[in-house]
């Protein structure tokens, strides 16, 4: 079941060093890349069906095309601000195969016409950031980067300050510009993001790390994995009440229950499976009854009322309290709201405090109705998707596990 495209070198000792990376295929995709015109590369990415693996799942080729067509100095920004609870896949690339990311950045910059890339790394990732910086230095020494390269690309690491909201691409760019990390209003027509008013491509770490395989082996080689609408593979994380927590790369479309049993080793200590949060803490929970139909692809999980998100599954066994689980998540949302939009700033705070009464088993029916009302107010009335995500999480718990909340009402 495990398929290795991005994770192919993860288990090789010292895979983060240049000599080991070169001996195991890194930078080999650049020769065929530079033999092609930039538009040819964009067309290959479009044909591959590569989708963004940072949560949204947007078509990568279309984003590349928009930036390529835009006039001006262009930038490529890699989103390594991995702060979603339950998600810890990008740090595997940063620490175990950073040269794969660098290789993907060079190819991406060439395709869209950029000579400058920034990697925005989560502030807490100091160890992984240091490993990445050493690899970037090695790439400069070997003339894969900088003035001596066949195509000049300069890469700079920018470390964030621990704000979850800066994982949202426009807030990330605001932070990168030196401003407070507030999301921007989105245009109604297709446009790139902008860094200091210049067109900018923002892609997640794993998305860029998938590029070398596609450009070296072709679109069809990538489409040989996954489903028609969700082609390829993804680094799926699995944590919680699971026997073998970790990061495992499998193709899109595999059965979630099969993944949990065969790859994750099943629920820990022989307990029964109660529920799964399928794609990181921002995706609605699914009860066991619905997991029989669940597959690891964008369309299936959307049809089930949840989302693939970042692929970070959180497994809950029969002993898990859904009330305490929701309280834990809402405490996180309350803490991480940037405060720009009133429905989000007040709604995350209010819902967090309401859950205190449920945890203490002194809630009322009015509290339950108020929680539903606050959730409705947060959904679709803010600049970014932070509040709607929190709303979806609340609605999912109340829809599937209402009885546990009713038990907390006096």
Task: Tell me, yes or no, whether 254 and 313 share the same domain.
Answer: yes
Residue 369's pLDDT band (cuts 50, 70, 90): very high
Question: Is 354 inside any structural domain?
Answer: yes
Residue 187 has pLDDT above 90, yes or no: no
73-124 pLDDT, tens digit per residue, is: 999 999 999 999 999 999 999 999 999 999 999 999 999 999 999 999 999 9
Decide if 9 is inside a domain: no
> Could you tell me if 211 and 295 lie in one domain?
no
Of the pLDDT bands very low, low, confident and very high (cuts 50, 70, 90), residue 219 is very high
pLDDT of residue 315: 98
pLDDT for 137-170, tens place per residue? Answer: 999 999 999 999 999 999 999 999 999 999 999 9
Say what the pLDDT of residue 168 is.
96
C-alpha span between 274 and 315 (Å, rounded)? 8
CA distance 117 to 107: 11
- What does the pLDDT average to over 291-316? 97
Rounded-to-integer distance, Cα 315 and Cα 86, Å: 10
Alpha-carbon distances of 374 from 86, 394, 395, 397, rounded to whole Å: 25, 10, 11, 14
- Are 123 and 268 in the same domain? no
Give me the percent of the chain exceeding a pLDDT of 70. 100
Is 338 inside a domain boundary?
A: yes
One domain for residues 170 and 292: no
Q: Which pLDDT score is estimated for 180?
A: 96
Listed residues 317, 346, 366: the one ending a domain: 317
**Residue 188, pLDDT above cutoff 90:** no
Q: What is the pLDDT of residue 1?
A: 85
| Claim to verify: residue 299 and residue 372 sit in the same structural domain | no
In a domain, 135, yes or no: yes
184 lies in some domain: yes
How many other C-beta atoms lie within 10 A of the C-beta of residue 77?
22
pLDDT of residue 66: 97
Q: How confident is the model at residue 380 (pLDDT cuts 50, 70, 90)?
A: confident
26 and 146 together in one domain:
yes
E-strand spans in 178-293?
193-195, 198-204, 233-240, 246-251, 273-277, 286-287
3 in any annotated domain = no
As a whole number of angstroms, the longest Cα–Cα distance in the chain is 72
Whether the per-residue pLDDT at 307 is higher than 90: the answer is yes
The range of the structural domain enclosing residue 251 comes to 233-317
Domain-terminating residue out of 301, 317, 333: 317
Number of domains in the chain: 3
Span 316-351, pLDDT tens digits: 999 999 999 999 999 999 999 999 999 999 999 999
218 touches 44 (CB < 8 A): yes
Q: What is the pLDDT of residue 410?
A: 95
Look at residues 262, 283, 317 and tell me which one is the last residue of a structural domain.
317
pTM of the model: 0.96
Give the model's confidence band at 365: pLDDT under 50 very low, under 70 low, under 90 confident, else very high: very high
HEC profile of 355-404 = HHHHHCCCECHHHHHHHHHHHHHHCCCCCCCHHHHHHHHHHHHHHHHHHH
Mean pLDDT of the chain: 97
Q: What is the CATH number of the domain that holds 365?
A: 1.20.1440.230
Nearest CA among 232, 174, 304 for reference residue 51 = 232
Question: Is 7 within a domain?
Answer: no
Q: Which whole number is the average pLDDT over 376-398?
A: 96
pLDDT tier for residue 216 given thresholds of 50, 70 and 90: very high
Q: Which residues contact 31 (CB under 8 A, 6 or more apart)?
A: none
- Asked whether residue 346 is domain-assigned, the answer is yes
């Amino acid at each position: 079941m495990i398929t290795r495209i991005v994770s192919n070198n993860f288990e090789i000792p010292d895979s983060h060093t240049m000599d080991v990376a070169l001996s195991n295929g890194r930078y080999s995709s650049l020769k065929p890349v530079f033999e092609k015109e930039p538009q040819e590369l964009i067309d290959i990415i479009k044909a591959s069906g590569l989708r963004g693996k940072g949560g949204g799942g947007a078509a990568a080729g279309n984003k590349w095309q928009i930036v390529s067509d835009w006039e001006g100095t262009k930038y490529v920004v890699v989103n390594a601000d991995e702060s979603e609870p339950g998600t810890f896949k990008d740090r595997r690339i940063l620490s175990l195969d950073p040269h794969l990311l660098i290789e993907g950045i060079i190819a991406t910059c060439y395709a869209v016409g950029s000579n400058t890339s920034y990697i925005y790394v989560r502030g807490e990732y100091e160890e992984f950031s240091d490993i990445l910086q050493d690899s970037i230095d090695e790439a400069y020494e070997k003339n894969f980067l900088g003035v001596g390269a066949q195509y000049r690309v300069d890469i700079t690491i920018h470390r964030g300050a621990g704000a979850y909201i800066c994982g949202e691409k426009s807030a990330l760019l605001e932070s990168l510009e030196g401003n407070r990390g507030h999301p921007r209003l989105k245009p109604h027509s297709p446009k790139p993001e902008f860094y200091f008013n210049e067109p900018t491509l923002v892609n997640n770490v794993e998305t860029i790390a998938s590029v070398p395989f596609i450009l070296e082996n072709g679109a069809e080689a990538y489409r040989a994995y996954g489903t028609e609408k969700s082609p390829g593979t993804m680094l799926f994380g699995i944590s919680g009440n699971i026997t073998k927590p970790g990061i495992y790369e499998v193709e899109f479309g595999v059965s979630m229950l099969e993944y949990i049993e065969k790859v994750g080793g099943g629920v820990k200590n022989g307990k029964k499976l109660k529920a799964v949060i399928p794609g990181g803490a921002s995706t609605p929970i699914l009860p066991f009854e619905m997991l029989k139909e669940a597959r690891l692809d964008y369309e299936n999980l959307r049809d089930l009322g949840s989302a693939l998100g970042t692929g970070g599954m959180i497994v809950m066994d029969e002993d898990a309290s859904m009330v305490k689980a929701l309280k834990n998540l809402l405490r996180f949302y309350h803490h991480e709201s940037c405060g720009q939009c009133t429905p989000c700033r007040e709604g995350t705070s209010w819902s967090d405090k309401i859950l205190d009464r449920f945890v203490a088993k002194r809630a009322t029916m009015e509290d339950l109705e108020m929680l539903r009302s606050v959730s409705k107010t947060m959904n679709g009335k803010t600049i970014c998707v932070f509040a709607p995500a929190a709303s979806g999480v609340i609605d999912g718990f109340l829809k599937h596990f209402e009885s546990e909340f009713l038990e907390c009402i006096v």
